[in-house]
Amino acid sequence: MKEADIIVLAVPTYSGKASGLYCAFTERAQGIIESYEEFKDKILNKIIALIVIGNVPAGGDLAYHAVILDHRDSKYPPPSALLQSTEYGQSSVQGTLIEEEKVRDRLGGLVNLILRDWKSKH
């Protein structure tokens, strides 16, 4: 991640919370990198896009806001999306959400935004 130009995090949610793996990453990454300033420079200030997968009735919106808040110190606000499987008649557990053309279009728009931002900064 230190060497990447762009970082995209996809975070599933469970019971209104971000996944444990995501939480472990955000809590422990600062310990792996020597200082908070280096963490900001090497991770937070990269062009990070956030994709949170969770349904609002199950607290997906709460997890979405918590994940966004984790990146409040980023140099640039991260482009983000909350994908709700119920919105597309899919099950997030079965992994079929990406099969929906509207989901692919939405993610394509996010990718275009990321690339536009990256090009403008380089």
Parent domain of 82? 6-121
> Looking at the domain assignment, is residue 116 inside a domain?
yes
Q: Are 12 and 67 in contact (CB under 8 A)?
A: no
Euclidean distance between the first and the last CA atom of the chain, given in angstroms as a whole number: 18
pLDDT at position 35 is 76
- Dump pLDDT digits (tens) for 51-88: 999 999 999 999 999 999 888 877 777 889 999 998 99
Number of domains in the chain: 1
> Looking at the domain assignment, is residue 22 inside a domain?
yes
> Looking at the domain assignment, is residue 70 inside a domain?
yes
Given the DSSP bridges, would you call strands 6-14 and 17-18 parallel, antiparallel or unpaired?
antiparallel
pLDDT at position 37 is 78
- Pick the most confident of 1-5, 25-29, 71-75, 109-113: 109-113
Given the DSSP bridges, would you call strands 6-14 and 47-53 parallel, antiparallel or unpaired?
parallel
> Looking at the domain assignment, is residue 1 inside a domain?
no
The predicted model scores a pTM of 0.83
DSSP 8-state code for residue 24 = H
Can you tell me the mean pLDDT for 101-115? 93
| Confidence band of 30 (pLDDT split at 50, 70, 90) | low
> Looking at the domain assignment, is residue 38 inside a domain?
yes
* Structure token digits, residue 98: 């990406």
Q: Are 13 and 54 in contact (CB under 8 A)?
A: yes
Is the confidence at residue 46, as pLDDT, over 70? yes
> Looking at the domain assignment, is residue 61 inside a domain?
yes
